[in-house]
């Protein structure tokens, strides 16, 4: 039995697909054709080395950037129906300094500024915030997390 949420599985699949696509793109730079038509070995090695560098850089970029697995539009609707009573406009009516502004999320949210940390907080609750794990589906929570992180990153209105 898997303990991974739909959001975690989707993120892993998305990243794996992107890495495979980058590796395939890098392979396009590898020398092809019959040995008589190939470039000298020193040039072949250079092209292969460059292709490997491109693939490695792309893979590092994928790991370094967040993958937004949820649907922010759907997340906004769920947020407005379930979260806005306390968090309208990214604020916090219960604990005023614990807003959904990026700086506050980075400072106060266990796990930092990322969707996984928001998913954990929404699912389990913490302190004054109730748990929504029994009320919302994993997909709904992933959508809310995408909405919160993307809106916070862009700046709440």
Cα four-point dihedral sign 88, 91, 96, 99: positive
Determine contact, residues 72/151, Cβ cutoff 8 Å.
yes
- Reading the block at residue 87, the tokens are 């968090």
Please tell me the pTM assigned to this model: 0.60
The pLDDT of residue 69 is: 73
Q: Which of 92, 124, 86 is nearest to 105 (CA)?
A: 92
Local structure of 81: helix, strand or coil: helix
Q: Tell the residue number behind the tokens 């949820």, with chain if given.
A: 70
How far is it, in rounded angstroms, from Cα 14 to Cα 70? 12
Compute mean pLDDT per 10 residues along the chain, 157 residues long, and list them.
Answer: 56 60 55 55 60 63 58 96 96 96 96 96 95 96 97 93
The pLDDT of residue 65 is: 45
The pLDDT of residue 37 is: 55
């Amino acid at each position: 039995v898997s303990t991974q949420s739909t959001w975690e599985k989707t993120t892993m699949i998305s990243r794996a697909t992107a890495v495979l696509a980058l590796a395939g793109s890098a392979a396009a730079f590898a020398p092809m054709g019959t040995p008589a038509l190939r470039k000298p070995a020193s040039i072949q090695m250079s092209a292969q080395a460059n292709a490997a560098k491109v693939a490695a850089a792309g893979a590092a970029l994928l790991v370094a950037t967040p993958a937004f697995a949820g649907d922010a539009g759907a997340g906004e609707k769920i947020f407005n129906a379930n979260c806005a009573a306390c968090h309208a406009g990214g604020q916090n009516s219960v604990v005023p300094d614990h807003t959904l502004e990026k700086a506050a999320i980075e400072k106060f949210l266990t796990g930092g500024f990322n969707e996984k940390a928001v998913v954990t907080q929404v699912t389990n609750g913490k302190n004054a915030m109730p748990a929504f794990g029994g009320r919302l589906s994993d997909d709904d929570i992933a959508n809310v997390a995408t909405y919160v992180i993307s809106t916070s990153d862009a700046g709440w209105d």
